[in-house]
Amino acid sequence: MLSDKGYHTGAELQGCHDNNIQTYVAFKEQSSVKHLQKEYLSEQFIYDSQTDSYSCPAGQTLTTLGTWHHKRGDAGQTSYRFKTYRTNGCRSCALKKHCTKLNKRIIQRSEYQAAVDRNNENIRQNPNYYKRRQAICEHPFGTIKRQWGYTYTLMKGLKKVDGEMNLVMLVYNIKRTLSILGFHNMFQALKTWKPDYSVLFRLISSQMGSYRRHQWNYFFLPTHTRLHNP
């Protein structure tokens, strides 16, 4: 699964892993901290799963009491658990001023950090996968925004904008199909096209009551059947 950065959580990455889905989700580099040098950002601390501890760049070992803490996620995201790791070695460390202003350097590790690390390593080991995603997924938006000048929506509200974008994407798909097949081949394909409405019907049925479901069932019946079965 290939995905852009900023639209995922650790829990979702873990869920993919549990379902044998290999993820390649772009990740943000850890933002710099004013009083920290790059060499002392938390991503430079090495985690040992056997001892459940971290090693800092100065060679000290950060351990945990094993207590799980709860942290509320961002808007719309569920909370998650994390553990804290620290060491008494900071007191005598000559590099402390480059690492933290606190008495001890503290590292927080999410319960989903292993899934996050696996995903990030997938990206590092296979950079061409993500580049391919960019070439496939970003091109339509570039055409729509730059060539067509569609840089804003006319509607407001999620449902209305979603409908508007569906129409835009429909036009893009038609123009793209024309470009690949040509008008004649596309017209022939449309003449022999037999859409499977059962998929749409199942989707609608799952969200409707029995009465409205009956109405939709009637709508999808062939015309001659409707006339004899009102």
What pLDDT digit, counting tens, does each position of 5-53 carry? 877 888 999 999 999 999 999 887 766 565 566 788 888 899 999 999 9
62 three-state secondary structure:
strand
Describe the strand order of the beta sheet including 69-71 as a list of residue ranges: 69-71, 80-85, 107-110
Between 86 and 213, residue with greater pLDDT: 86
**Contact, 55 vs 40, CB < 8 A?**
no
pLDDT at 189 over 50: yes
pLDDT at 211 over 60: no
Instruction: Please tell me the predicted confidence (pLDDT) of residue 230.
Output: 40
DSSP E strands: which ranges in the chain? 2-3, 24-25, 46-48, 53-55, 61-62, 69-71, 80-85, 107-110
Instruction: Please tell me the predicted confidence (pLDDT) of residue 208.
Output: 61
- CB-based burial, 65-90: b 16+ in 10 Å, e otherwise: eeeeeeeeeeeeeeebebbbbbbebb
pTM for the whole structure: 0.62
Q: Mean pLDDT highest for which of 72-76, 201-205, 219-223?
A: 201-205
pLDDT at 223 over 80: no
pLDDT at 153 over 60: yes
pLDDT at 177 over 50: yes
Distance CA 212, CA 218 (A): 10
pLDDT at 210 over 90: no
pLDDT at 207 over 90: no
